[in-house]
């Protein structure tokens, strides 16, 4: 499935290796559900999915691999444009961009490492987990990701 989704990420202007985010989020299960209400390959919350143009009623487009991939890629592109850094974009994907922005401002910080201790434990573990998944599955380090691999 990752190969099928890479083209979508590439078309959205996001490094195609980021499709492996779906492994960390859902183990590539389009029907995955979280107790908090996230669904699909990329575990999009209802409000976020609607903001990205997906229907969350019948049919719930978060469970459509192509539509959810396009929405997740769009969101990642927006987060990277806002934060200028993939680890921060991933932290914002998980914890929310408002939380990341507030912590960066409060700590006068510029990197994930500088705010990690103030993020929820889930996010502190999430960013390294995603980066490790990218390294193992696609051979892409954060430096290569920054170059658009």
Q: Is the pLDDT of residue 7 over 80?
A: yes
Q: What is the mean pLDDT of residues 37-53?
A: 96
Q: What is the mean pLDDT of residues 82-107?
A: 97
Q: Supply the pLDDT for residue 148.
A: 59
Question: What sections of 39-120 are H helices per DSSP?
Answer: 46-51, 65-83, 86-95, 97-107, 112-115
Q: How confident is the model at residue 149 (pLDDT cuts 50, 70, 90)?
A: low
Q: Supply the pLDDT for residue 104.
A: 98
Provide CB contacts within 8 A for 91, sequence distance 6+. Answer: 100, 112, 115, 116, 119, 123, 126, 127
Asked if 66 is an active-site residue, the reply is no
Q: Supply the pLDDT for residue 144.
A: 83
Catalytic-role residue among 23, 25, 51, 61: 25
Against a cut of 0.75, is the pTM above it?
A: yes
Q: How confident is the model at residue 2 (pLDDT cuts 50, 70, 90)?
A: confident
- The CATH number linked to 106 is 1.10.530.10
- How far apart CA 78 and CA 149 sit, in angstroms, is 17
The domain in which residue 10 lies consists of: 2-146
- How far apart CA 4 and CA 143 sit, in angstroms, is 24
Q: What is the mean pLDDT of residues 97-119?
A: 98
Q: Is the pLDDT of residue 147 over 60?
A: no
User: Cis omega (within 30 of 0) on the bond before 59?
Assistant: yes
Q: How confident is the model at residue 142 (pLDDT cuts 50, 70, 90)?
A: confident
Report how many domains make up the chain: 1
Q: Supply the pLDDT for residue 3.
A: 84
């Amino acid at each position: 499935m990752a190969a099928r989704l890479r083209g979508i990420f590439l078309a959205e202007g996001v490094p195609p290796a980021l499709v492996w985010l779906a492994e960390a989020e859902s183990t590539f299960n389009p029907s995955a559900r979280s107790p908090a209400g996230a669904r699909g390959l990329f575990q999009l919350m209802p409000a976020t999915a609607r903001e990205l143009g997906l229907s969350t009623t019948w049919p719930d487009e978060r469970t459509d691999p192509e539509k959810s991939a396009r929405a997740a890629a769009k969101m990642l592109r927006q987060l990277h444009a806002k934060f200028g850094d993939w680890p921060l974009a991933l932290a914002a994907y998980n914890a929310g961009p408002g939380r990341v922005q507030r912590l960066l401002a409060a700590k006068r910080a510029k990197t994930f490492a500088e705010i990690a201790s103030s993020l929820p434990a889930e996010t502190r573990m999430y960013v390294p987990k995603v980066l490790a998944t990218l390294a193992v599955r696609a051979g892409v380090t954060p430096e290569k990701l920054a170059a658009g691999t």
